[in-house]
Amino acid sequence: MVADSLGRFMFNVTPRLNDSLLISSIGYEPTVVSLSELRDSVFLTPCQQKLSEIVVTPRKKKKIGNVYGKSGLGYVVIYTDDKQEVGRVFDISKNCIVRNVRLNVFTPQEVRLRLNVYGNVDGKWESVLNKNVFWPSLAKNNDDYSSHVYELVLEEPLVLEKGEYLISVEDVSNSTEQIIFVSRLLTGHAKYRSKVLGEWKDLEVNLGMEIDIEY
C-alpha cells in the first residue's frame, strides 16, 4: 500500500498473531512493526547516506589549425566563378565544443562569407549546422597587400563528436574580385568545390584557419 503526501494510510485487516508491517520512505530507515503493536502513529528514523565524491574541473582549451601569420609559404586564390567554397579538414580526437573560428585572408573589396561545417559520414561530407552562420563583413584591404586575421565568435557554440570534420567558408557576396587565403603549401588538408553541392576536390595546401575547442 502507498501512503498519501502526509504519510497517512488506512487498511482493514484481521491480524494474525505473527503478522507484521514493513514501513519505508525515501530518506528514512525502514522499520518493521508488528500488527498487534501498531498504533495511530509510526515514527521513522532519518538515515544519512554518504554520496560519492564529486570533482568539478574546468574544461580544457586548445587551438587546432594555424592561421600562419606571416609564416605562410603560399597563397590559395579563391575565385567566385571557380572555387566558391574552400575549407580545411580537422581531425577531432574527442567530443568538444567549438566557440571561435579564425581566418587569415586578403581581399581587395568588402566580402561576405558563410561558415559551413561538415562531418565525414561513411566517406561523405554532411552538414552538421542547423542554421546559416555568417562572418561579419570582411573589410577591403587598402594597405600593402598584407593579410588580416578575422575571427568569428559563434553565438551558439558548436558541439562536435569525435571524428573528421571539414570546416569551410563560402563566398555569398557575389563579389567580382578574388579572395586570397594565406596557406602553407604541400600539406594537403584543404578542399574546395566550384559549385554549391558540387564535388569536393583536394588542395595541396593547409588553409590559414584555426578553431578554439573546449573539452
Query: In this structure, how many other beta carbons lie within 10 angstroms of the beta carbon of residue 85?
Result: 23
Write the pLDDT tens digit of every residue in 26-50.
Answer: 888 888 888 777 777 778 888 877 7
- The domain 61-214 is placed in CATH, from the list 1.20.1070, 2.60.40, 2.40.160, 2.60.120, at 2.60.120
Answer for the pair 163, 120: CB distance below 8 angstroms, yes or no: yes
Of 181, 113, 118, the closest CA to residue 148 belongs to 181
List, by residue range, all CATH 2.60.120 domains of the chain.
Answer: 61-214
**Confidence at residue 139, expressed as pLDDT on a 0 to 100 scale:** 66
pLDDT at 117: 96
What count of other Cβ atoms lies within 10 Å of the Cβ of residue 59? 10
In the predicted structure, residue 212 carries a pLDDT above the cut 80: yes
Residue with the three cell numbers 573589396: 109
Q: Write down the pLDDT at residue 183.
A: 81
What letter does residue 28 receive in the DSSP assignment? B
> Quick check: pTM over 0.85?
no
Is the distance from CB of 113 to CB of 172 less than 8 angstroms?
A: yes
The region that residue 69 occupies, defined by phi over 0 for left and psi between -120 and 50 for alpha, beta otherwise, is left
- Higher pLDDT, residue 11 or 60: 60
